[in-house]
């Protein structure tokens, strides 16, 4: 609220739609203030409803809202909105973290880099983050030995679960992962979420998956700070929801999941549609959008398996759930006796029998427990009948108690699965509980939930007040008179005994004839004078409570029914005697329950007890708070609804915490900030004064404020005092501005007068000259006119004569041709019409052509201009880089020695780390010994001085002795020595632990990778074996038929086909379409004999031997011929000769696939992988050129005969290659690669080859990345050393020291390039490998630059730039054939480093940065580099504040683009080439002179290779 409003002040005014609007005061009329809002709206409000706006607040907000100049509601809301617009979703309010859900993934905020940064950092030192809260809790637990609690609150959808996951992830990162079976403790906790959500979550008015219970996750730690166990505590389960629902809510999810279970489960449990069950059909909502209950049922059962619930226990759980549903369908009517009851109809009897069957109890016993009560007295036992209404209450009580105990059993089971540590020393608890609720209809559930939030708010208020008190105590200011805003009166109203609302509700429930009307009237009478209680108008039984978050009106219609929770002895006895062990375990028999008495218990009282237990747990811990906020109800990013957020801030208690702060000193400013802002109020106080405290006191005394406090480091101001100071400051600045404006205006007026006088003199001289020239021109014109008139008269007379003569001739001609024209008029008119039409069409076509031509020229001009401008920018950038290099040349020469020694020192530090530690300890011991010697000398000096003093005491008066021994210094040095020793030991321990974890993880990943590869090879082997067996079976059947036919005939049939063998089998190819049964029957017994009647081997054995020979040959390294792999060419020739591409079934391809898969099992050898990549890619190219799918040939299935004449061959060669001069080479190329009709096995083999090429490419690329990964971590930051040590080291190390890491990268690249060249890998693949590798280098270096502030320095930029120059030289040496566009992939790191090494950055404009220096970088990336930059050498400044402001504005405008918000780069691991690119990079003619494998050329069965 503004204390004094002046015209021109910036203020906040309340708005119904936008919550708050900012504007400027344009007039003040008493208490009425007229404000012009920035939205264009003009409003008139009271001065008491106007809040000041800080004009100097950062446009992107502050990370801690206690730093705001005005800590009020609109200021908080605007700060959250400003940070949300630039994706800063976390904000502090003191030590409270506010998290606004972005509704999008921001992975760069939660990776291992971030956790490493927040580890050990002081709270508030880095940007707000859940990691900071978790780290603060962990540090307090370790240092102070106090258990911690982190309370995560917010409404559904605000991100509580994600925040909880982040907290547990960070705590596991800090406390280690002591988990069994490969799963960490926090993973087990998260795996239990689906089970708890199924049985504890339900649809409410605002959320489809609202938790109807509170969850407190305890992470238990041992004395070393290691996680030793965990436990989940649940509180305040909403039991009444099982029996009573309000529209449009739903019951718990598990009921609907069970109704959507598989048919066999539904049949077994006798379930059906949810609409048929009373506990589910009280509302009209049965299904949720986007949720499949059948799938959720399967997922829930899988989650139960994960947490260790057996299938038998799962069946028992769902039996109990189904029994509860059947219980709800039992209706009662009056029985035969008075006030008795019985099941209403056959349907009710059916559900009764089903429930008894599912509970495995006696049907009669279940009926008696619902319809009768047994009263035990001293003398006898009395059985009392229950009326139908009481029977319904008994039924609902049984359902609620069964469900409640089932939920408790689930929680205990989950805790046993997670594993608790009873000997844990500390714990960190994370509380996730439902938030404040206020709907149109609020019943008993909302009453209990809001009571919980009132209790938690009181705990929160006490914590906030305690934090305020601690700060006041630290600053040593007087705070005893500050009043604390408490909500104890609301808690007394609800839970006080006797006389509270809960007590009155329990009292009403114990009287049978009480109704909600009588209960409401009792409330009205009891609390009619209570300031927090009121009765709404026009309401008979509603009441309103003024909560901390606002007024809530409750409807009492179902309060009594939902509060009743009888502990009925009959129910206990019934289920304890159940034959179902699970159901009986839920109701164990205890000594207290043996008596047949029904004890009344209310849900409200039980609720209050559980709440008290929760608060006792929280009180025993140190609390930390995270308030989650849902920015909009659409659950979409980049939408910030002010009213919605403001309501959540109220419900979350954030605004209440602000009110507590405002009750004291809401404005706290450090002395230097206060003097810097308000020094203009008293300039005389700043003259010659260096004491900031004295200056602040003088300023405040001059202004005349009262009630402020001066602390040790800050000025504390009361609410409204900041506005008074800003008003006075605005007045002084306004007067100063008026004086400046007056001087400027006088200066501008005099300057304008002098300029005007000079202009007047100049105009006069020009005008005089112009008049003289005008007179001369007039005289010339008069003389010219006379001559023109004479010539014109002569021309007119001659023209008139010619016209008369022509007219006469025309009349004569017209008379003569009149008759002819009359005859031809019609024809000419017709012809003229046709001509007009043609010309019109021509004109339209011409016009369209002209327009199109003009548009084309315009487009070409624009494009050429764009290309020219782009080239100009590149030239400018090159010129700037050249200038920067020339300017840095001299500096680099001076710093060679320093960089040389730094790198050599880093190398020595790595190799001699242990020796350095030993030397450091030796130095420390030496220092301690020297201190001890000094101490001894000091003692000797003291003794001597004392003796001298005794001698002098005889002549002079006694003087008091002053001790000269500095004991404090000695103790301090000893303490520092001890701390250094402890630090060294802790570092050793951490290094050893990290190495062990890395080795374990690496071994595990290697084992899993090996298992996967073995499984893959086994699958390939099995497939090959299966195909081979199928072929052998088919071959054996054929042979059996042949032998059987020969036995029948006993004589050979003369008709013998010599080509039968080729028809049956040809090297593994089954020619099914050419073999018939008749062919087999007519085959003689001597079919497998040679013409010399010598037996020969069957074709099947010959075929296998040929394939085996081929495999044995190509599996070895057979080298290269004419730069092409021999193995691939040999395989292709064999497949082509055997006609394997045209076969319907063959095992050759499977054998080849198995052979290739086995050959590349050794993935560590790049040489081996390059050899097979070359062979596989070449074979793939040959297949691509040869195969055409079957059926594409159409009617040309019968091949035309090849021309035999020379002219015919020349013609064929000319047609196939018209641009080739060497026709013989073209014909030979066609013979080398032939077109065939590919069948399915060949097409499948083609796809498998493609997969192998991509796999081997990825392996080689990933191997190179793995080698470069360790070197890149050392290349991003220049080694640090002192200048003195550099001078001492001289030039002994040369340039080797500062380039050894970069040289290692160059060596890796050269090694791989040599390997790929030696194995003749296609250049297109080599280009892609190095292009993606350079992209990986760019990503790693650039991301490290953005995540580590120590890397964004001038000297580090020079170091990285020198390394990039080495990479550029390598690209030039490798040439474009192999390097390709690899150098262009480093554009991000090149431009970022180029920006770092530029001098005088503050003179560079934003346009120059984005257009000339860094056109590739996004605004977010530039903003981060500019804010992280610091110069460790010359202390130069970063860019100007105007440039930073421009970047912030653009980031706000670009916030709708989700991609632009991420400033980190992603590494692309996809396959960047297509098969067409590979095929186009190789030509068929390259294979003309390739020779097959020599081993097979000597084999007579491979004679075709000689062709």
Catalytic residues: 156-157, 161, 207, 210-211, 435, 437
CA distances from 905 to 1278, 1282, 1459 (A): 11, 10, 42
Peptide bond into 498 cis (omega under 30): yes
As given in the structure block, the two tokens for residue 618 are 């929280």
**What is the maximum alpha-carbon separation in the chain?**
169
Classify 332 as helix, strand or coil: strand
Alpha-carbon span 1148 to 1327, nearest angstrom = 33
Count the neighbouring beta carbons within 10 Å of the beta carbon of residue 502.
Answer: 22
Q: Position of tokens 């791989």? A: 1312
How far is residue 446's CA from residue 128's CA, in Å, rounded to a whole number?
33
642-651 and 654-663 helices, crossing angle to 10°: 70
3-state secondary structure 635-647: CCCCCCCHHHHHH
Burial of 462 per CB tally in 10 Å (0-12, 13-18, 19+): middle
Crossing angle for the helix pair 654-663 and 73-85, nearest 10 degrees? 130
Both tokens of 957, joined, read: 């008066």
- Pick from 1388, 1433, 1440: nearest CA to 1414: 1388
Backbone conformation region of residue 13, classed left if phi is above 0, alpha if psi is from -120 to 50, else beta: beta
Distant-in-sequence, close-in-space partners of 895: CB < 8 Å, separation ≥ 6: 1355, 1358
End-to-end CA distance of the chain: 100
List of residues 6+ apart from 641 with CB closer than 8 A: 631, 632, 633
- Residue whose entry in the numeric block shows the structure tokens 């030696």: 1318
The full length of the chain comes to 1507
Cβ-based neighbours of 1288, under 8 Å, separated by 6 or more = none
CA distances to 93, 168, 1198 from 622, rounded to whole Å, are 17, 17, 90
How does 1430-1451 read in b/e, with b if 16+ C-beta sit within 10 Å? ebeeeeeebbbeebbebbbebb
Q: Which spans in 1380-1460 are helix H?
A: 1387-1396, 1406-1408, 1419-1428, 1441-1453
Measured distance CA(1205)–CA(1216) in Å, rounded:
17
DSSP-based three-state secondary structure for 1505: helix
Q: For residues 133 and 662, is the Cβ–Cβ distance under 8 A?
A: no
Are residues 1079 and 1041 in contact, defined by beta-carbon separation less than 8 angstroms? no
> Are 1153 and 1131 contacting, i.e. CB atoms less than 8 angstroms apart?
no
Handedness of CA 40, 43, 47, 50 (dihedral sign): negative
Residue whose tokens read 């379930």: 271
Tokens at residue 990, please?
């951490």
- What's the CA gap between 705 and 721, in Å, rounded? 7
Using CA atoms, how far apart are residues 544 and 532, in angstroms rounded to an integer?
8
Distance CA 920, CA 1041 (A): 91
3-state SS, residue 444: helix
- The residues facing 37 across adjacent strands are 23
The closest alpha carbon to 91, from 118, 67, 119, belongs to 67
Number of neighbours of residue 585 by Cβ within 10 angstroms = 14
């Amino acid at each position: 609220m503004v204390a004094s409003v002046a015209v021109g002040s910036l203020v906040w005014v309340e708005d119904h739609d936008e919550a708050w609007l900012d504007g400027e005061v344009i007039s003040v009329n008493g208490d009425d203030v007229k404000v012009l809002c920035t939205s264009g709206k003009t409003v008139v409000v009271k001065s008491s409803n106007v809040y000041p706006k800080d004009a100097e607040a950062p446009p992107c907000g502050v990370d801690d809202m206690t730093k705001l100049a005005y800590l009020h509601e609109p200021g908080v809301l605007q700060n959250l909105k400003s940070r949300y617009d630039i994706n800063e979703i976390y904000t502090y309010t003191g030590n409270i973290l506010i998290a606004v859900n972005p509704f999008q993934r921001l992975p760069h905020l939660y990776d291992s880099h971030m956790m490493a940064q927040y580890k050990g950092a002081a709270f508030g030192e880095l940007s707000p983050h859940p990691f900071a809260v978790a780290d603060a809790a962990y540090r307090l637990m370790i240092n102070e030995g106090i258990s911690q609690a982190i309370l995560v609150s917010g409404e559904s959808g605000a991100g509580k679960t994600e925040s909880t996951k982040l907290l547990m992830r960070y705590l596991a990162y800090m406390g280690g992962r002591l988990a069994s079976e490969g799963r960490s403790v926090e993973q087990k906790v998260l795996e239990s979420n689906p089970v708890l959500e199924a049985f504890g979550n339900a649809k409410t008015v605002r959320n489809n998956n609202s938790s109807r219970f509170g969850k407190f996750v305890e992470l238990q730690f041992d004395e070393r700070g290691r996680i030793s166990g965990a436990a989940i505590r649940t509180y305040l389960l909403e039991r009444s929801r099982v029996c009573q629902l309000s529209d449009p809510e739903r019951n718990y999810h598990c009921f609907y999941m069970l109704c959507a279970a598989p048919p066999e489960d539904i049949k077994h449990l006798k379930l059906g549609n949810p609409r048929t069950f009373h506990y589910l059909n009280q509302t009209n909502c049965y299904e949720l959008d986007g949720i499949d209950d059948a799938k959720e049922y399967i997922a829930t059962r899988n989650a139960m398996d994960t947490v260790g619930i057996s299938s038998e226990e799962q069946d028992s759980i769902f039996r109990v759930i189904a029994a509860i549903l059947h219980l709800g369908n039992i209706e009662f009517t009056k029985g035969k006796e008075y006030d008795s009851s019985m099941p209403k109809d056959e349907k009710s009897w059916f559900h009764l029998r089903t429930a008894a069957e599912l509970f495995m109890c006696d049907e009669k016993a279940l009926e008696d427990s619902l319809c009768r009560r047994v009263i035990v007295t001293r003398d006898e036992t009395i059985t009392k009948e229950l009326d139908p209404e009481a029977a319904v209450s008994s039924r609902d009580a049984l359902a609620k108690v069964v469900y409640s105990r089932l939920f408790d059993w689930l929680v205990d089971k989950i805790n046993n699965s997670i594993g608790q540590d009873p000997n844990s020393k500390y714990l960190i608890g994370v509380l996730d509980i439902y938030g404040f609720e206020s709907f149109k209809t609020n019943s008993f559930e909302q009453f209990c939930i809001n009571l919980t939030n009132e209790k938690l708010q009181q705990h929160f208020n006490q914590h906030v007040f305690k934090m305020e008190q601690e700060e006041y105590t630290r600053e040593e200011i007087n705070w005893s008179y500050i009043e604390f805003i408490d909500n104890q009166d609301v808690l007394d109203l609800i839970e006080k005994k006797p006389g509270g609302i809960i007590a009155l509700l329990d009292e009403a429930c114990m009287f049978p004839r009480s109704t909600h009307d009588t209960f409401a009237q009792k409330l009205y009478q009891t609390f009619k004078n209570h300031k927090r209680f009121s009765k709404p108008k026009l309401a008979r039984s509603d009441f309103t409570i003024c909560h901390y978050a606002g007024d809530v009106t409750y409807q009492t219609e179902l309060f009594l029914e939902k509060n009743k929770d009888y502990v009925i002895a009959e129910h206990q006895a019934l289920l304890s005697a159940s034959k179902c062990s699970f159901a009986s375990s839920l109701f164990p028999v205890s000594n207290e329950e043996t008596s047949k008495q029904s004890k009344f218990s209310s849900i409200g009282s039980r609720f209050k007890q559980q709440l008290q237990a929760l608060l006792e747990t929280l009180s025993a811990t140190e609390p930390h708070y995270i308030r989650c906020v849902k920015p909009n109800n659409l659950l979409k990013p980049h939408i910030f609804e002010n009213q919605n957020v403001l309501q959540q801030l109220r419900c979350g208690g954030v605004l209440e915490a602000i009110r507590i702060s405002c009750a004291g000193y809401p404005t706290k400013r450090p002395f230097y900030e206060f003097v810097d802002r308000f020094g203009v109020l008293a300039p005389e106080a700043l003259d010659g004064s260096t004491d900031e405290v004295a200056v602040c006191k003088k300023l405040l005394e001059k202004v005349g404020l009262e009630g402020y406090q001066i602390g040790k480091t800050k000025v504390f101001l009361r609410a409204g005092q900041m506005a008074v100071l800003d008003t006075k400051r605005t007045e002084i600045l306004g007067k100063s501005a008026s004086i400046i404006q007056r001087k400027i205006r006088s200066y501008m007026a005099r300057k304008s007068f002098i300029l005007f006088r000079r202009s007047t003199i100049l105009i006069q001289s020009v005008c005089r000259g112009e008049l003289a020239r005008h007179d001369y021109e007039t005289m010339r014109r008069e003389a010219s006119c006379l001559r023109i008139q004479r010539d014109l008269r002569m021309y007119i007379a001659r023209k008139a004569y010619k016209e008369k003569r022509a007219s006469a001739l025309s009349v004569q001609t017209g008379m003569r041709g009149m008759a002819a024209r009359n005859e031809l008029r019609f024809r000419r008119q017709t012809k003229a019409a046709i001509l007009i039409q043609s010309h019109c069409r021509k004109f339209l076509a011409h016009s369209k052509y002209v327009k199109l031509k003009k548009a084309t020229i315009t487009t070409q001009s624009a494009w050429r201009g764009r290309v020219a401008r782009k080239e100009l920018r590149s030239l400018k950038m090159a010129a700037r880089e050249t200038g920067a290099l020339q300017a840095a040349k001299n500096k680099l020469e001076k710093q060679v020695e320093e960089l040389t020694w730094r790198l050599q020192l880093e190398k020595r530090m790595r190799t001699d780390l242990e020796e350095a530690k030993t030397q450091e300890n030796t130095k420390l011991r030496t220092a301690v010994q020297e201190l001890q010697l000094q101490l001894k000398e000091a003692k000797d000096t003291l003794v001597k001085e004392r003796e001298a003093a005794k001698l002098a005491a005889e002549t002079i008066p006694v003087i008091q002795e002053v001790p000269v021994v500095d004991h404090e210094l000695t103790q301090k040095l000893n303490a520092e020595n001890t701390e250094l020793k402890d630090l060294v030991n802790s570092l050793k321990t951490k290094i050893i632990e990290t190495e062990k974890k890395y080795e374990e993880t690496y071994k595990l990943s290697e084992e899993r990778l090996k298992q996967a590869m073995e499984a893959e090879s086994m699958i390939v082997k099995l497939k090959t074996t299966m195909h081979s067996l199928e072929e052998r079976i088919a071959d054996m059947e054929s042979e059996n038929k042949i032998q059987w036919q020969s036995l029948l005939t006993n004589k050979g049939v003369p008709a013998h086909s010599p080509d039968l063998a080729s028809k049956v089998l040809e090297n593994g190819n089954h020619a099914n379409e050419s073999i018939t049964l008749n062919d087999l029957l007519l085959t003689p017994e001597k079919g497998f004999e040679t013409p010399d009647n010598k037996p020969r081997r069957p074709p099947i054995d010959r075929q296998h031997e040929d394939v085996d020979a081929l495999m044995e040959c190509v599996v070895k390294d057979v080298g290269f011929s004419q730069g092409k792999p021999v193995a691939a060419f040999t395989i292709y020739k064999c497949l082509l000769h055997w006609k394997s591409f045209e076969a319907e079934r063959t095992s050759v391809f499977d054998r080849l696939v198995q052979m290739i898969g086995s050959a590349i099992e050794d993935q560590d050898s790049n040489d081996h992988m390059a050899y097979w990549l070359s062979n596989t890619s070449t074979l793939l190219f040959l297949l691509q050129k040869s195969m055409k799918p079957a059926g594409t040939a159409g009617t040309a299935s019968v091949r035309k005969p090849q021309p035999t004449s020379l002219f015919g061959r020349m013609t064929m060669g000319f047609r196939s290659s018209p641009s080739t001069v060497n026709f013989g080479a073209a014909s030979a190329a066609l013979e080398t690669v032939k077109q065939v009709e590919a069948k399915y096995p060949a097409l499948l083999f083609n796809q498998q080859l493609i997969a192998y090429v991509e796999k081997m490419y990825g392996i080689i690329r990933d191997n190179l990345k793995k080698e470069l990964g360790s070197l890149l971590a050392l290349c991003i930051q220049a080694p640090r050393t002192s200048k003195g040590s550099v001078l001492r080291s001289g030039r002994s190390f040369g340039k080797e020291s500062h380039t050894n890491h970069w040289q290692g990268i160059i060596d890796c690249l050269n090694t791989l390039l040599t390997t790929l060249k030696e194995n003749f890998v296609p250049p297109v693949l080599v280009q892609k490998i190095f292009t993606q590798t350079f992209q990986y280098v760019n990503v790693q270096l650039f991301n490290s630059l953005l995540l580590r502030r120590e890397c964004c320095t001038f000297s580090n930029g020079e170091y990285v730039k020198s390394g990039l120059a080495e990479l550029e030289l390598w690209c030039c040496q490798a040439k474009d054939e192999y390097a390709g566009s690899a150098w262009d992939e480093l554009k991000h790191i090149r431009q970022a480093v180029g920006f770092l090494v530029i001098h005088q950055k503050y003179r560079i404009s934003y346009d120059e940065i984005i257009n000339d220096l860094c056109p590739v970088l996004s605004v977010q990336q530039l903003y981060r580099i500019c804010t992280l930059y610091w110069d460790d050498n010359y202390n130069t400044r970063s860019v100007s504040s105007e440039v930073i402001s421009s970047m912030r504005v653009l980031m706000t405008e670009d916030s709708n683009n989700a991609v632009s918000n991420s400033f980190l780069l992603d590494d692309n691991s996809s396959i960047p080439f297509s098969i067409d690119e590979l095929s186009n990079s190789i030509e068929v003619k390259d294979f003309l002179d390739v020779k097959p494998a020599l081993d097979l050329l000597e084999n007579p069965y491979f004679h075709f290779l000689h062709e």
